[in-house]
Amino acid sequence: MSMPISPADTFRNGVQLLLDKNVPAWVELWAEDGRMEFPFAPTGWPTHLAGKEAIAAYMRNYSDHIDLQDIPDLVVHETSDPATIVVEMRATGRIVTSDSPYDMTYIAVVTVHNGCFSSYRDYWNPLAVSTAGTDFRTN
């Protein structure tokens, strides 16, 4: 009998898939009814995505916008709910269209059930990316 994959391991696996530029495999880590939320989204940007299809559409052109190269800082905090983790991380790379550096810090509250993301609240600053020359609303 295999051990269930922990939320932290699921998250780390997802990070590696994004670093490998394998967005389709990252999307496969999502539950069909998974929900992604962006609490700091500015006007005109999506505030939430409902379902795997919506998440796949949002991420479809990710690698055309951001060349993610490293996650030099990653800290996973366990919570009183064994299915939920809080993640602090920093991502680095470059903005593809402008060849500008990409250096963003994130905090995410992530819930995983049966090895799949069911909820992901992404507390990042989309204004920092838009001023660097990319816009995820076009995905």
pLDDT digits (tens, 9 = 90+) for 12-46: 999 999 999 999 999 999 999 999 999 998 888 89
% residues pLDDT > 90 (the chain): 76
Q: What residue segments make up the domains of the chain, in order of their start?
A: 7-138
Give the residue-averaged pLDDT of 98-119.
Answer: 95
* pLDDT confidence of residue 44: 85
Span 71-87, mean pLDDT? 97
Q: What is the side-by-side order of every strand in the sheet holding 100-113?
A: 48-50, 30-37, 116-123, 100-113, 84-95, 66-78
Q: Are strands 30-37 and 84-95 parallel, antiparallel or unpaired?
A: unpaired
Using a 10 angstrom Cβ sphere, with 0-12 exposed, 13-18 middle and 19 or more buried, the burial of residue 98 is exposed
Coil, helix or strand at residue 22: coil
Residue-averaged pLDDT of the chain: 90
CATH class of the structural domain 7-138:
alpha beta
Question: Contact, 74 vs 87, CB < 8 A?
Answer: yes
Mean pLDDT within 72-100: 95
The per-residue pLDDT for 138 is: 42
- φ/ψ (deg, to 5) at 52: -60, -40
* Mean pLDDT along residues 62-90: 96
